[in-house]
Amino acid sequence: MNISIDGDEIVADLDQKHKRGEGDVRPWLQYQGQWSFMGSPSSVNGSVVFNGRKCFSFGPFCGKQSILDVFKDDDYILKTLTAEGAKMAINEWEDQENFCPLTIAVPNSPCFNNNCQKYDTVQQRNDCRSLARSYCATSCPTPFDMDTCKDRGCLTLGSFEQAEADSQLNSDPNETGQAPESAFEFQPTKIQTMVGGLVLDNTRQYVGGKHLSGLFALNKAELFCPSQGVNDPVADEWERRALCMMGVNADTRAEPKLDCPEDDLLKFNGLFQRSFGDEFGNAIRGDIAKLTSSYAVIIVYCAIMIGKCDAIHSGVFMSFVAVLIVGLTIASTLGLMGYFGVPNGNLNNNLYFLLLGLGVDDAFVLSSEYARHTEQNKDMSIPQRIAATARTGGISVLITSATDALAFLVGATTVLPALGWFCTYAGVSIVLCYTYQLTVFLPCLALNAYRVEANRIDCCCCCRLEARSPENPQGCCCCCLPQRAFQGGVLKRGLKGFMEKVTTPMGQAITLLLFAALTAGGIVGTTKIYKDFKLEWFIPDSSYVNQFFNVNSEYFATGTPITVNMRESPDAFEVQSGLHELYAYLNTTELVNQDVAVDSWYEEFMDWAVDPNQAVTTSASFTPSRTAANAAFTDRADFYNALHAWYRGTPGSRYRGSVIWASQACNVDGAVDVVPAGCDVSVGLKASRFNAELSLAATDKGTNRYTTMVSMRKKVDELIPGAFPYSFDFLYWEEVGVIDTELVRNLMVCGGVILVVIFALVPSPRIAIWVVLCVALSIVDTLGFMYFWDVTISGVSTIYVLICVGLAVDYAAHIAHMFKESTGSARERAIAAAERIGPCTFNAVLSTLLAVAVVGFSESYVFRIFFKVLFLVVIIAGAHGLWLLPAILSICGGSKDPEYVCNAGVQPARDKE
């Protein structure tokens, strides 16, 4: 890609941003100059050196792969390319026995010569070089004049020059013992990895394709900035402009603004290092409107359901207070956790919906209890009614809040840091939410009561109306509906009627049968749900990144690239047999894709070293012999001297990024004839690595990926102690390995805490046990039906399941508490509890459902999973709390006789067996 980045402009911007100038410490000065992927070639002592080169280099080569490699990425060749030339080059590409730096898209290329194809004997090499020299003299007479050079492969040949400053080809390959013949040895990339949907003619020649694939490796020189993290502004800008050339405006907020029209002929998709960050940000910004809509839905629903449809007795003000408390809770939690240094992870963004559900639920309970006390005790003062509300509704809220808070805080001991942070934030926020309900919502409820007694209009308290009874609402907002439309009470009457049917013997039998079937389905699903997670799931469906993954999966499916890294200790010389065995293991194990060559610096070095014509190792001794397949150096000094000679010469140039010397002076960027000053090769290597690719079969699912990673780690460590395989994807595979254990552990912890708290705050074992059972069944059923709805166990879904525990406790505990407070037979108590607190619980279920329904239309995986899991839990846990629990309590809850109510309060009645 012909993209040039002005590093001087970037440096000037950073100077201005950080208020630095001449004489100040400015680490970003390394970005000065003009930068491009290939860089600008220049001649230094007869060798080609590339200035401003941003690619990740393997010796003189840039790390890239595309169909353009077939044409050496030569602008002149591509501009003059014909259909026949393209077909000839593509079909010749895989048949090459040795790498030819010159083009294969023209008939007179030396690459087609048999001497250049074989390149084995001295005579063949000399003849090939003579032919290439003659060809380059005609095609590229002035190597650094791009306007006259018709084959820029001649520049690559120039980069191999070490001995002669006035020629482009070395005429004596044996002069120094490190002739560049290995630079001509290569394994061509398979055409099918670069072209998808290949079309062949009847002679098995390639004649067409549907998709093209390629990669460009950037060499990032990153700096750490506290406000932006680690980044390389040159690389980031190069990627932004590369995406723009593909028709993708990666960051519309960045300067300078770019015009990124899509190509008329080609449709581009891609995956760059910045892609995930860009698309995550776009997804979150796109979902902000949906989150705002969810809060608006909650406010409107609360305003309708908390109060009456009346200008005076409406609940608009209190609905805003309910949502305000959620905001206060979030702000206080962030401040408190920041003060104590608890990290705020991305998963904590899911906390807002948990608090919204719990906070609104508490508001419904307290408002309902206040209305009940007002209706039953009209002579009580407002402070007395608020106190009574705190005594009855406050205890109900305390039960759910204490249970949820303790469950989350104990769950914060998990080994997963992000999950632990979330549990800490959740536990603290629930405590604060309960505190604000008592210290903010109840006082505001009292203020609202004074407004009602003064007959002032809700949200417009400066205006008065004539006195009216809450049982006779007159409507509001100029509604012209019939009078009976404002009466309300439909939900309360409906729940009472429904519970009267459910608590009959037939209703109880049908209820138990239906929920038994639901539980059976949940258990089946729970046994089948599996662990899996892919980073691309976080990308919106319409994103170019997701489209890239879809095309890549269909036409270019490959395994996961890995590196096998060796440490400074044990010494490379001491573990030569282990290096041989590691190479053999990688070439035979079914975990590694055997269609992709294993890249081993050691094997390439030993192939060079055991060559009987190799001058550098003529006097070296090998065990068991020089010609043995497992030949190894017997002398440490010989090993490292030969290794550095190979490394600093052309033969080892491709592996300079795979070998790091312990003596810093020994590390070189270009070919040099002698050991650099200050280099002590005897110290050995600081680190080295092999490259391989895991097979698709070993990485198709989360469990398989984790098993592959663990088994390979174990085997590699056995062969070379301290060595380890690595891939960036391992970060997410690690989670898959422990997430199920952590989920079960946290659910068990939550279950234990719920058991203790429910039995402590609902001191009636025959009631408390059924609450715990309903919560347990709710979670099992939710997990089971997650499987049927294509939700896997991951860090994201685990967070949502833990949120569901809190909601499930709310739905069941309120019913149980009011059942305990009610009197009469078991059936009467169940009906009374449903009639008294059922509307509040139903409103909490419905309001949460309405809120999550908005984000169900999101393109973000996180929010879609959020919708699925919360939809399941509010339906399943709500049904268990509002339907199953009253049915069970009407059978097993026992009766309770009413007792005399005095002015001092309510004397508790005793349950009867």
In tens, the pLDDT along 612-632 reads 888 889 899 999 999 998 999
Whether residue 610 contacts residue 617, with contact meaning beta carbons closer than 8 Å, is answered with yes
In this predicted structure, what is the pLDDT of residue 509?
94
Could you give the angle at which helices 351-376 and 382-411 cross, rounded to 10 degrees? 150
Which residues have CB under 8 Å from 67's CB, separation 6+?
Answer: 90, 194, 195, 212, 214
Per-residue DSSP letter, 483:
G
∠ at Cα 893 (890, 898), nearest 5°?
Answer: 95
Residue ranges of the chain with pLDDT lower than 70? 1, 43-48, 58-60, 143-146, 158-187, 226-229, 283-291, 303, 307-311, 345-347, 349-350, 468-489, 670-671, 899-913
Model pTM score:
0.67
Q: What is the pLDDT of residue 904?
A: 39
| Pair 446, 454: CB distance under 8 Å | no
Consecutive H or E run containing 907: none
CA distance 110 to 874: 73
Strand intervals (E) in 694-791: 724-726
Whether 548 and 270 have beta carbons less than 8 Å apart is answered as yes
**Where do the domains of the chain lie?**
36-216, 279-477+488-532+735-896, 561-728
Per-residue H/E/C for 309-334: CECCCCCHHHHHHHHHHHHHHHHHHH
pLDDT confidence of residue 93: 87
Please give the structure tokens belonging to residue 385. 């009614």
SS3 per residue for 61-123: EECEECHHHHHCCCHHHHHCCCHHHHHHHHHHHCCCCCCCCCCCCCCCCHHHCHHHHHCCCHH
Dihedral angle, C-alpha 418, 860, 808, 743, nearest 10 °: -40
Contact 867, 852 (CB under 8 A): yes
Q: How far apart are CA 576 and CA 630, in angstroms?
A: 9
Q: How many residues does the chain have?
A: 913
Looking up tokens 């999966």 gives 553
Q: What is the DSSP string of 783-846?
A: HHHHHHTT--BSHHHHHHHHHHHHHHHHHHHHHHHHHHH--BSHHHHHHHHHHHHHHHHHHHHH
Residue found by looking up tokens 């279920």 in the block: 845
Per the listing, tokens 């519309």 go with 252
- Architecture per CATH, domain 279-477+488-532+735-896, reads as Up-down Bundle (1.20)
> C-alpha distances in angstroms, 880 versus 277, 278, 785, 811, 886?
41, 42, 15, 8, 9
Place of tokens 């349950």: 911
Confidence at residue 44, expressed as pLDDT on a 0 to 100 scale: 62
Instruction: Say if residue 44 is exposed, middle or buried (CB neighbours under 10 Å; 0-12, 13-18, 19+).
Output: exposed
Contact 390, 312 (CB under 8 A): no
Output DSSP code: residue 433: H
CA 887 vs CA 126, 291, 500, 518, 805: distances in Å: 95, 36, 10, 16, 21
Instruction: Please tell me whether the peptide bond between 624 and the residue prior to it is cis, using omega within 30 degrees of 0.
Output: yes
User: How far apart are alpha carbons 136 and 144 in whole angstroms?
Assistant: 12
| Spatial separation of the C-alpha atoms in residues 472 and 182, rounded to whole Å | 95
Which long-range CB contacts under 8 A does 405-408 form with residues at least 24 apart? 405/430, 405/431, 405/434, 406/753, 406/757, 407/749, 407/750, 407/753, 407/754, 407/805, 407/806, 407/809, 408/750, 408/802, 408/806
Phi, psi of 229 (to 5 degrees): 80, -155
- Cβ neighbors of 672 (< 8 A, separation 6 or more) are 648
**3-class DSSP assignment, residue 650:** coil
Query: Are 526 and 792 a contacting pair, CB within 8 Å?
Result: no
CA distance 122 to 124: 5
pLDDT of residue 866: 78
Can you tell me the distance from the alpha carbon of 249 to that of 256, in angstroms, rounded to the nearest whole number? 12
* Helix H or strand E encompassing 630: none
CB 236 within 8 A of CB 225: no
